[in-house]
Amino acid sequence: MNENPVFCALDTQNPARATELAENLSPHIGGIKIGMEFFYAAGLASYQNLAATGLPIFLDLKLHDIPNTVAAAVSALCPLQPAILNVHAGGGLDMMRAASKAAKDTAAENDLTAPLMIAVTVLTSLEDDDLNLIGVNATPRDQVLRLADLAQQADMGGVVCSAHEVEALRNQCGPDFRLIVPGIRPAEHATDDQKRIMTPEAALEAGADILVIGRAITQATDPVQAASAILASLKSARG
Protein backbone atom coordinates (compact mmCIF):
# COMPACT_ATOMS: atom_id res chain seq x y z
CA MET A 1 0.00 0.00 0.00
CA ASN A 2 1.27 3.46 -0.81
CA GLU A 3 1.42 6.60 1.34
CA ASN A 4 -1.94 8.02 0.23
CA PRO A 5 -4.34 7.13 3.08
CA VAL A 6 -7.55 7.49 1.03
CA PHE A 7 -9.32 4.30 -0.05
CA CYS A 8 -12.36 5.03 -2.20
CA ALA A 9 -15.41 2.88 -1.47
CA LEU A 10 -16.81 1.67 -4.80
CA ASP A 11 -20.23 0.75 -3.47
CA THR A 12 -21.99 0.05 -6.74
CA GLN A 13 -23.42 -2.96 -8.55
CA ASN A 14 -22.21 -1.64 -11.91
CA PRO A 15 -18.84 -3.20 -12.87
CA ALA A 16 -18.20 -0.77 -15.71
CA ARG A 17 -18.85 2.22 -13.46
CA ALA A 18 -16.57 0.80 -10.77
CA THR A 19 -13.73 0.17 -13.21
CA GLU A 20 -14.12 3.63 -14.75
CA LEU A 21 -13.99 5.25 -11.31
CA ALA A 22 -10.95 3.23 -10.26
CA GLU A 23 -9.02 4.08 -13.41
CA ASN A 24 -9.89 7.80 -13.29
CA LEU A 25 -9.28 8.16 -9.56
CA SER A 26 -6.05 6.16 -9.50
CA PRO A 27 -3.67 9.16 -9.31
CA HIS A 28 -5.59 10.65 -6.38
CA ILE A 29 -6.34 7.69 -4.08
CA GLY A 30 -4.31 5.10 -2.26
CA GLY A 31 -6.63 2.18 -2.91
CA ILE A 32 -10.20 1.03 -3.36
CA LYS A 33 -12.69 -0.64 -1.05
CA ILE A 34 -14.93 -3.30 -2.52
CA GLY A 35 -17.82 -4.33 -0.33
CA MET A 36 -20.60 -6.88 -0.37
CA GLU A 37 -22.78 -4.91 -2.77
CA PHE A 38 -20.21 -5.00 -5.58
CA PHE A 39 -18.72 -8.43 -4.86
CA TYR A 40 -22.05 -10.24 -4.66
CA ALA A 41 -23.57 -8.50 -7.68
CA ALA A 42 -20.59 -8.31 -10.03
CA GLY A 43 -18.62 -11.43 -9.18
CA LEU A 44 -15.08 -12.65 -9.61
CA ALA A 45 -14.40 -11.43 -13.16
CA SER A 46 -15.36 -7.87 -12.26
CA TYR A 47 -13.20 -8.03 -9.15
CA GLN A 48 -10.27 -9.10 -11.30
CA ASN A 49 -10.88 -6.18 -13.67
CA LEU A 50 -10.54 -3.83 -10.73
CA ALA A 51 -7.45 -5.63 -9.50
CA ALA A 52 -5.91 -5.08 -12.94
CA THR A 53 -5.86 -1.32 -12.26
CA GLY A 54 -3.02 -2.00 -9.83
CA LEU A 55 -4.72 -0.23 -6.94
CA PRO A 56 -4.56 -1.98 -3.55
CA ILE A 57 -7.94 -3.50 -2.71
CA PHE A 58 -9.64 -3.59 0.67
CA LEU A 59 -12.04 -6.51 0.30
CA ASP A 60 -14.72 -5.55 2.80
CA LEU A 61 -16.81 -8.71 3.22
CA LYS A 62 -17.00 -8.64 7.03
CA LEU A 63 -16.74 -12.41 7.45
CA HIS A 64 -18.61 -13.67 10.51
CA ASP A 65 -19.26 -17.35 11.17
CA ILE A 66 -17.84 -20.26 13.12
CA PRO A 67 -14.02 -20.42 13.09
CA ASN A 68 -13.67 -23.25 10.56
CA THR A 69 -16.03 -21.61 8.08
CA VAL A 70 -14.31 -18.23 8.31
CA ALA A 71 -10.88 -19.84 7.98
CA ALA A 72 -12.03 -21.66 4.84
CA ALA A 73 -13.45 -18.44 3.41
CA VAL A 74 -10.19 -16.58 4.06
CA SER A 75 -8.25 -19.37 2.36
CA ALA A 76 -10.55 -19.14 -0.66
CA LEU A 77 -10.17 -15.35 -0.88
CA CYS A 78 -6.41 -15.07 -0.41
CA PRO A 79 -5.59 -16.02 -4.04
CA LEU A 80 -7.48 -12.86 -5.09
CA GLN A 81 -4.63 -10.96 -3.44
CA PRO A 82 -6.57 -8.27 -1.58
CA ALA A 83 -4.32 -5.90 0.31
CA ILE A 84 -6.79 -5.91 3.22
CA LEU A 85 -9.42 -8.45 4.25
CA ASN A 86 -11.75 -8.20 7.21
CA VAL A 87 -13.82 -10.21 9.65
CA HIS A 88 -16.25 -9.17 12.39
CA ALA A 89 -14.56 -8.97 15.79
CA GLY A 90 -17.92 -10.01 17.25
CA GLY A 91 -17.19 -13.51 15.95
CA GLY A 92 -14.85 -13.93 18.88
CA LEU A 93 -11.24 -14.67 19.70
CA ASP A 94 -11.09 -18.17 18.20
CA MET A 95 -12.70 -17.05 14.94
CA MET A 96 -10.26 -14.18 14.51
CA ARG A 97 -7.30 -16.42 15.32
CA ALA A 98 -8.48 -18.95 12.74
CA ALA A 99 -8.83 -16.21 10.14
CA SER A 100 -5.37 -14.81 10.79
CA LYS A 101 -3.77 -18.26 10.67
CA ALA A 102 -5.61 -19.18 7.47
CA ALA A 103 -4.37 -16.01 5.75
CA LYS A 104 -0.76 -16.65 6.70
CA ASP A 105 -0.84 -20.37 5.94
CA THR A 106 -2.54 -19.94 2.56
CA ALA A 107 -0.12 -17.20 1.55
CA ALA A 108 2.90 -19.29 2.55
CA GLU A 109 1.63 -22.40 0.78
CA ASN A 110 0.96 -20.53 -2.46
CA ASP A 111 3.86 -18.06 -2.44
CA LEU A 112 1.49 -15.11 -2.04
CA THR A 113 1.52 -11.95 0.01
CA ALA A 114 -0.87 -12.38 2.93
CA PRO A 115 -3.55 -9.71 3.21
CA LEU A 116 -3.60 -7.38 6.18
CA MET A 117 -6.23 -9.04 8.34
CA ILE A 118 -8.39 -6.59 10.25
CA ALA A 119 -11.46 -6.85 12.45
CA VAL A 120 -14.61 -4.73 12.34
CA THR A 121 -15.37 -3.42 15.83
CA VAL A 122 -18.59 -1.36 16.04
CA LEU A 123 -20.28 -0.21 12.84
CA THR A 124 -20.27 3.55 12.37
CA SER A 125 -24.07 3.44 12.00
CA LEU A 126 -24.42 2.41 15.67
CA GLU A 127 -24.65 4.64 18.74
CA ASP A 128 -25.32 3.93 22.43
CA ASP A 129 -29.04 3.23 22.03
CA ASP A 130 -28.42 0.93 19.06
CA LEU A 131 -25.96 -1.15 21.07
CA ASN A 132 -28.34 -1.32 24.01
CA LEU A 133 -31.08 -2.67 21.76
CA ILE A 134 -28.89 -5.64 20.81
CA GLY A 135 -27.88 -6.33 24.39
CA VAL A 136 -24.53 -4.55 24.54
CA ASN A 137 -24.51 -2.47 27.72
CA ALA A 138 -21.53 -0.35 26.79
CA THR A 139 -20.78 2.81 24.90
CA PRO A 140 -19.46 2.42 21.35
CA ARG A 141 -16.05 3.60 22.57
CA ASP A 142 -15.85 1.00 25.34
CA GLN A 143 -17.04 -1.78 23.05
CA VAL A 144 -14.55 -0.78 20.35
CA LEU A 145 -11.67 -0.85 22.84
CA ARG A 146 -12.76 -4.24 24.15
CA LEU A 147 -13.03 -5.78 20.68
CA ALA A 148 -9.76 -4.23 19.53
CA ASP A 149 -7.99 -5.83 22.47
CA LEU A 150 -9.40 -9.22 21.42
CA ALA A 151 -8.38 -8.57 17.82
CA GLN A 152 -4.83 -7.81 18.86
CA GLN A 153 -4.71 -10.98 20.97
CA ALA A 154 -5.91 -12.90 17.89
CA ASP A 155 -3.03 -11.61 15.74
CA MET A 156 -5.19 -9.30 13.67
CA GLY A 157 -3.18 -6.52 12.06
CA GLY A 158 -5.70 -3.80 12.89
CA VAL A 159 -9.35 -2.87 13.19
CA VAL A 160 -12.09 -0.93 11.51
CA CYS A 161 -13.34 1.77 13.85
CA SER A 162 -14.89 5.20 13.78
CA ALA A 163 -12.57 8.19 13.91
CA HIS A 164 -13.87 9.00 17.38
CA GLU A 165 -12.10 5.94 18.83
CA VAL A 166 -8.80 6.38 16.98
CA GLU A 167 -6.88 8.28 19.63
CA ALA A 168 -7.87 5.87 22.42
CA LEU A 169 -7.06 2.87 20.22
CA ARG A 170 -3.67 4.26 19.30
CA ASN A 171 -2.86 4.65 22.99
CA GLN A 172 -4.12 1.15 23.80
CA CYS A 173 -2.81 -0.83 20.83
CA GLY A 174 0.41 0.95 19.91
CA PRO A 175 1.82 2.51 16.75
CA ASP A 176 1.88 -0.59 14.53
CA PHE A 177 -1.77 -1.61 14.88
CA ARG A 178 -3.54 -0.38 11.75
CA LEU A 179 -6.67 1.74 12.18
CA ILE A 180 -8.99 1.78 9.17
CA VAL A 181 -11.67 4.43 9.45
CA PRO A 182 -14.96 4.66 7.50
CA GLY A 183 -17.54 7.33 8.14
CA ILE A 184 -15.23 9.98 6.71
CA ARG A 185 -17.01 13.02 5.35
CA PRO A 186 -15.60 16.35 4.16
CA ALA A 187 -17.17 19.14 6.20
CA GLU A 188 -19.63 20.13 3.49
CA HIS A 189 -21.12 16.64 3.01
CA ALA A 190 -24.16 14.99 4.58
CA THR A 191 -23.81 12.18 7.11
CA ASP A 192 -26.17 9.80 5.20
CA ASP A 193 -26.71 6.60 7.25
CA GLN A 194 -23.56 6.89 9.36
CA LYS A 195 -23.57 8.56 12.76
CA ARG A 196 -20.03 8.50 14.20
CA ILE A 197 -18.28 10.49 11.47
CA MET A 198 -15.36 12.91 11.12
CA THR A 199 -13.63 15.00 8.46
CA PRO A 200 -10.58 13.52 6.67
CA GLU A 201 -8.21 16.05 8.20
CA ALA A 202 -9.44 15.47 11.76
CA ALA A 203 -9.33 11.67 11.38
CA LEU A 204 -5.77 11.75 10.09
CA GLU A 205 -4.73 14.11 12.87
CA ALA A 206 -6.27 11.73 15.43
CA GLY A 207 -4.05 8.91 14.16
CA ALA A 208 -6.02 7.02 11.52
CA ASP A 209 -3.97 4.99 9.01
CA ILE A 210 -6.54 4.54 6.22
CA LEU A 211 -9.55 6.74 5.48
CA VAL A 212 -12.43 5.04 3.66
CA ILE A 213 -14.36 7.63 1.66
CA GLY A 214 -17.22 6.71 -0.64
CA ARG A 215 -20.14 8.91 -1.59
CA ALA A 216 -18.27 12.18 -1.07
CA ILE A 217 -16.15 11.10 -4.04
CA THR A 218 -18.24 8.70 -6.10
CA GLN A 219 -21.43 10.79 -6.04
CA ALA A 220 -19.70 14.10 -6.64
CA THR A 221 -20.39 15.93 -9.88
CA ASP A 222 -16.70 15.51 -10.65
CA PRO A 223 -15.30 12.52 -8.68
CA VAL A 224 -11.72 13.17 -9.80
CA GLN A 225 -11.86 16.77 -8.62
CA ALA A 226 -13.43 15.69 -5.33
CA ALA A 227 -10.71 13.10 -4.67
CA SER A 228 -7.99 15.55 -5.69
CA ALA A 229 -9.36 18.19 -3.32
CA ILE A 230 -9.44 15.72 -0.40
CA LEU A 231 -5.85 14.66 -1.07
CA ALA A 232 -4.72 18.28 -1.30
CA SER A 233 -6.40 19.10 2.00
CA LEU A 234 -4.70 16.15 3.69
CA LYS A 235 -1.30 17.16 2.35
CA SER A 236 -1.89 20.69 3.59
CA ALA A 237 -2.96 19.40 7.02
CA ARG A 238 0.19 17.30 7.23
CA GLY A 239 2.29 20.36 6.44
Check if 65 is active-site: yes
- How does DSSP assign 174-235, residue by residue? -TTSEEEE--B--TTS--TT--S-B-HHHHHHHT-SEEEE-HHHHTSSSHHHHHHHHHHHHH
104 is in an annotated binding site: no
68 is in an annotated binding site: yes
Say which of 65, 130, 142, 192 is annotated catalytic. 65
105 is in an annotated binding site: no
CA distance 171 to 153: 16
185 is in an annotated binding site: yes
Check if 235 is active-site: no
| Separation in Å, CA 236 to CA 8, 52, 127 | 20, 31, 32
195 is in an annotated binding site: no
63 is in an annotated binding site: yes
Check if 130 is active-site: no
94 is in an annotated binding site: no
62 is in an annotated binding site: yes
Q: Minimal CA–CA distance to 17: which of 46, 55, 45, 40? A: 46
198 secondary structure, DSSP code: B
Q: Which residues are annotated as a binding site for substrate?
A: 11, 33, 60-69, 124, 185, 194, 214-215
Q: Which residues are annotated as a binding site?
A: 11, 33, 60-69, 124, 185, 194, 214-215
Q: Which residues does the annotation mark as catalytic?
A: 60, 62, 65
